[in-house]
Amino acid sequence: MIGIRKAKRLVKPTTNKTLVERDQAEIKDILDAIFLGGRLAPEFTRELAPQLKRKTDMATLRAIWSFVRNNIRYRRDEGNVEVVKSPGKLLYDGYGDCKSFTIIIGSLLDNLGYRWKYRVAFYDPETPEQGHIYPVVVMPDGSEVILDAVHDTFNEEVPYWRAYDYDKHGNKMASLSGIPGQGNWLLWALLAIILLK
């Protein structure tokens, strides 16, 4: 596995900046910043990406996930300020949140030729403005591989209340409800209550 020092040397130093730092940002503003960062980032991780290539797709995807998970600490943005970091700034600081994790992972995927999308998940209907973003690779057979480096398990999602998939240009592709792979959890819960009565 490539170390963080070597990775810092392989990422263009001009990326050592914060792409967006905004107080009281709306979800749309945050997503727009992520989509912009995602389009700009591949140029700067071009030399790093081949270092993470393995013999199989799953091994390569695990290497990308592991690199971010093991070398960059997750730290939620403080207060109401939303920060979106370039790959260089993220590596330099050594910490970031899901937005910046998604940008660096997406840039590595782009450089290795993978088809992927953004998944924006919301977990609590009581706080619908608090979301989480991570990349999802779409394999040639249509199956998905989850690269959420905030989560502690490779290729696994935390069950969400609602999620939206976006392509790399920020176009909404799908709206998802309930637990992934389980259909609409609310309908299942209501059915269970009815059956138990």
pLDDT at 107: 97
Tens of pLDDT, residue by residue over 58-109, are 999 999 999 999 999 999 998 888 888 999 999 999 999 999 999 999 999 9
Mean pLDDT of 8-17: 71
For residue 103, give the 3-state DSSP assignment.
helix
Tens of pLDDT, residue by residue over 171-193, are 999 998 865 544 444 444 444 44
Mean pLDDT of 138-162: 97
Check whether domain 4-196 has CATH 3.10.620.30, yes or no: yes
CA distance 189 to 46: 46
CA distance 183 to 13: 44
Matching residue, tokens 């993220």: 90
Task: Enumerate the β-bridge partners of residue 144.
Answer: 138
CB 45 within 8 A of CB 8: no
Q: Is the pLDDT of residue 52 over 60?
A: yes
